[in-house]
Chain A
């Protein structure tokens, strides 16, 4: 290849970005779509690799990611420049909002380049110790989560405020068109802030996140070092420095533009815009020995690995995760979630489940599940309860931290047990008739005494939280769901199958 087609890359990026938006949009009721809505996450080899290490098990769902690795070994790292929706958004905002600041002399970024490799090593070593940073640093997880907790709710809000009126006027149904409930998310602001920070880093250097921080990019880079399709430059090169300036990841050294850092190149083909047309990409090209992409010392590499292991072990000792008094009994995991330890080590924090939940019941944690459990989903019944006949969260989970269960199986999963605060309960505390909890319970687990005061049948309660959600007491509910040391399967005969 010797010629760049103008506008092709932004067009392809836009297309893949729209595909990402569409799939995430369709991660919603009734979830009848032939494509897996978590396709972009399944194509992410970093998530695939880390969950493979933490689980010592191959996930069929994550296999496509390894296909991406194989393709990268042939064509180089095309993922970042052409496919990655996070990369596309960074590119876009790098053009319109967060433009790179002009600097008089080139920046020495060796330390930063090392940092990226360091982050990858820390996360792989951490994975060996059962800890993962996917939730925070994987770009696909990051963008999916941000769009699930911020962009889609904001879009819904705008629709309700503006679009609803427009549609109402056009269809003549303004009086009966019902607003779509706007999902709200705990810790949502934090997630947005992190996303904006990632975009804003482009002010320092173009694609700052991609070049210096992204662990997925680093993994692809390492494989990209083996690439078969390579860049080669003929002696026609006039050293005009145009390619050096334009390269979005700084892969071409200023002092020797004939070569390039092979593993840093993201195949954007910007350097084909060469005035003397000296640059080409060919299978088996690039006979000139590549520039070193990063100078890693042994000490640095070992230090990174050690840090990852130490971090993993430290998080394991977090008392909130133990069984004792420090345990967070209000940390209720989605139905079908793996046992807590495995759950936090395999959940990529992508937020697909938050998006798909029809009742806005799942929320990203902040520190409720400990430091390593950040941005994993938890059930917050007061905001939304777990719908009885819904199994969507497991069906969209790319790493199967929440297992995909049949609706019948899911109805038998006990996530927690409801408890009644008799001092706040209307029926216990006054002589009024209330019993909303009993009326709403899908499993007939709220039983009444002769004075119509509720109590819980623990054999039937699944902890779905509809009682906590609908309890008419103002503020905190008089009936609250508490986790009971992991999820259990309740006996089928105690639940009437609907």
Chain B
């Protein structure tokens, strides 16, 4: 069937066009005049919550974004791209904080999700990763599926028309097809790319990661961001790895933060500052990290934090 099959008159087209122009403004003005409720439009695009319990941090970070209800609707399938790529214990800060993951899954279910699936394509043997990170137990106790992309059958090849160097990639089908994709990274120091943040976490949805290293890692990480922009990014910065990353074990720091946002690049731009640049001895500027700059150049988000609606809140 083509669009020409249906009878679509010029009059109808004009009506539709007029409606699309007028309606959003009318709606927006209507909302502005209405009294503020917690479910109204978001106050910020990036929220940094600091101090408190993992669940409290998550709640505090999500509220100014409009709550989880803004992203997850009744009956939806939600994919969380977590980080359990290594067979390390939670204290070593190489994999996600189990308490925070449990809180995130619970929050997604409370918003009405039908099923939550937690994915990663692990680097160490997936069986050891799932057990040692403690995340299998966590996810299953919270009622989510925890899935590892160790078989090629769960990937689908997609074209990257906006990609500069990566033109096609095999991406986890479930992450492409799910109603909501939540990126749930853990910031770590990284020998190859200085830091590993939200965008680098999405690499774990790709089958052939070795290929990216052969082409150009920084550009490929940015290119992967063009496949599917996550609906929400929740950064687990309760404890971060500051040396020997990404596999560790190494030194850790406890910023006790959860950063939530809708702008993939802006979130990474903020998180880069959690780490010291060994060259300058000062916190990383976003432009000093290759993939953040490349992603901004691709139009994936805003690198300049001054132009981003940011909010800092206290965790509970």
> Looking across the interface, which residue of chain B has its beta carbon closest to that of A358?
B125
B148 at the interface (CB under 8 A from A): yes
Closest 7 CB pairs of A and B: A179-B151, A472-B210, A178-B151, A472-B213, A29-B127, A179-B153, A434-B213
Taken residue by residue from 157 to 200, chain A's Cβ proximity to chain B (1 for < 8 Å, 0 otherwise) reads as 00010001000000001011111110000000000000000000
A232 at the interface (CB under 8 A from B): no
Quick one: which of B147, B211, B247 has the most chain A CB within 10 A?
Answer: B247
> Looking across the interface, which residue of chain A has its beta carbon closest to that of B87?
A389
Query: Of residues 83 to 101 in B, which have CB atoms within 8 Å of A's CB atoms?
Result: 87-89, 92
A204 at the interface (CB under 8 A from B): no
CB neighbours of A389 from chain B (8 A): 87, 128, 132
In the bound complex, CA of A29 to CA of B132 (Å): 13
Contact status of A387 and B92, CB under 8 A, knowing A160-B151, A164-B153, A426-B214: no
B246 at the interface (CB under 8 A from A): yes
Inter-chain contact A176/B145, CB cutoff 8 Å: yes
Taken residue by residue from 101 to 127, chain B's Cβ proximity to chain A (1 for < 8 Å, 0 otherwise) reads as 000000000000000010000011101
Inter-chain contact A436/B151, CB cutoff 8 Å: no
**Contact residues on B (Cβ < 8 Å of other chain), bracket:** 35 or more
> Looking across the interface, which residue of chain A has its beta carbon closest to that of B156?
A175
Inter-chain contact B192/A435, CB cutoff 8 Å: yes
Taken residue by residue from 165 to 194, chain B's Cβ proximity to chain A (1 for < 8 Å, 0 otherwise) reads as 000000001100100000000000011110
A175-B154, A175-B174, A474-B214 given; name 17 further pairs at CB < 8 Å: A29-B125, A176-B145, A178-B151, A179-B151, A180-B151, A358-B125, A358-B127, A387-B125, A434-B217, A436-B192, A440-B123, A441-B247, A470-B210, A472-B214, A496-B249, A498-B88, A498-B248
Inter-chain contact B218/A472, CB cutoff 8 Å: no
Inter-chain contact A436/B127, CB cutoff 8 Å: no
In the bound complex, CA of A386 to CA of B102 (Å): 32
Contact status of A452 and B191, CB under 8 A, knowing A160-B151, A179-B151: yes
Inter-chain contact B210/A178, CB cutoff 8 Å: no
> Looking across the interface, which residue of chain B has its beta carbon closest to that of A472?
B210
26 contacts between A and B (CB under 8 A): A29-B127, A29-B128, A30-B127, A160-B151, A160-B153, A176-B147, A176-B174, A178-B150, A178-B151, A358-B127, A387-B124, A388-B87, A389-B87, A390-B125, A434-B214, A435-B191, A436-B210, A439-B123, A439-B191, A439-B192, A442-B124, A470-B123, A470-B210, A473-B214, A496-B249, A498-B88
In the bound complex, CA of A152 to CA of B56 (Å): 48
B164 at the interface (CB under 8 A from A): no
CB neighbours of B173 from chain A (8 A): 175-176
A241 at the interface (CB under 8 A from B): no
CB neighbours of A292 from chain B (8 A): none
Query: Of residues 38 to 64 in B, which have CB atoms within 8 Å of A's CB atoms?
Result: none
Taken residue by residue from 446 to 483, chain A's Cβ proximity to chain B (1 for < 8 Å, 0 otherwise) reads as 00100010000000000000000011111000000000
A234 at the interface (CB under 8 A from B): no
> Looking across the interface, which residue of chain A has its beta carbon closest to that of B214?
A472
A144 at the interface (CB under 8 A from B): no
A2 at the interface (CB under 8 A from B): no
Inter-chain contact B150/A181, CB cutoff 8 Å: yes
CB neighbours of B87 from chain A (8 A): 387-389
In the bound complex, CA of A415 to CA of B151 (Å): 29
CB neighbours of B217 from chain A (8 A): 432-434
Q: Report which of B150, B177, B216 forms a contact with A432, defined as CB distance below 8 A.
A: B216
Inter-chain contact B244/A444, CB cutoff 8 Å: yes
In the bound complex, CA of A432 to CA of B193 (Å): 11
Contact status of A438 and B192, CB under 8 A, knowing A358-B128, A389-B128, A426-B213: yes
Taken residue by residue from 400 to 440, chain A's Cβ proximity to chain B (1 for < 8 Å, 0 otherwise) reads as 00000000000000000000000000100000111110111
Q: How far is the CB of A31 from chain B (nearest CB, A)?
A: 10
In the bound complex, CA of A364 to CA of B192 (Å): 36
A359 at the interface (CB under 8 A from B): yes
Listed in ascending order, the chain B residues whose CB lies under 8 Å from chain A are 87-89, 92, 117, 123-125, 127-128, 131-132, 145, 147-154, 173-174, 177, 190-193, 210-211, 213-214, 216-218, 244, 246-249
Q: How far is the CB of B87 from chain A (nearest CB, A)?
A: 6
Quick one: which of A173, A441, A448, A498 has the most chain B CB within 10 A?
Answer: A498
> Looking across the interface, which residue of chain B has its beta carbon closest to that of A165?
B153
In the bound complex, CA of A175 to CA of B125 (Å): 22
Inter-chain contact A433/B151, CB cutoff 8 Å: no
Q: How far is the CB of A118 from chain B (nearest CB, A)?
A: 46
In the bound complex, CA of A234 to CA of B217 (Å): 86
Q: How far is the CB of A159 from chain B (nearest CB, A)?
A: 11
CB neighbours of B247 from chain A (8 A): 439-442
Inter-chain contact B191/A448, CB cutoff 8 Å: yes
> Looking across the interface, which residue of chain A has its beta carbon closest to that of B123?
A440
Q: How far is the CB of A438 from chain B (nearest CB, A)?
A: 5
CB neighbours of A452 from chain B (8 A): 191-192
CB neighbours of A426 from chain B (8 A): 213-214
In the bound complex, CA of A473 to CA of B210 (Å): 8
Inter-chain contact B211/A472, CB cutoff 8 Å: yes
CB neighbours of B128 from chain A (8 A): 29, 358, 387, 389-390
CB neighbours of B124 from chain A (8 A): 387-388, 442
In the bound complex, CA of A154 to CA of B174 (Å): 28
CB neighbours of A387 from chain B (8 A): 87, 124-125, 128
Q: How far is the CB of B285 from chain A (nearest CB, A)?
A: 19
CB neighbours of A173 from chain B (8 A): 145
CB neighbours of A160 from chain B (8 A): 151, 153
CB neighbours of A436 from chain B (8 A): 192, 210, 213
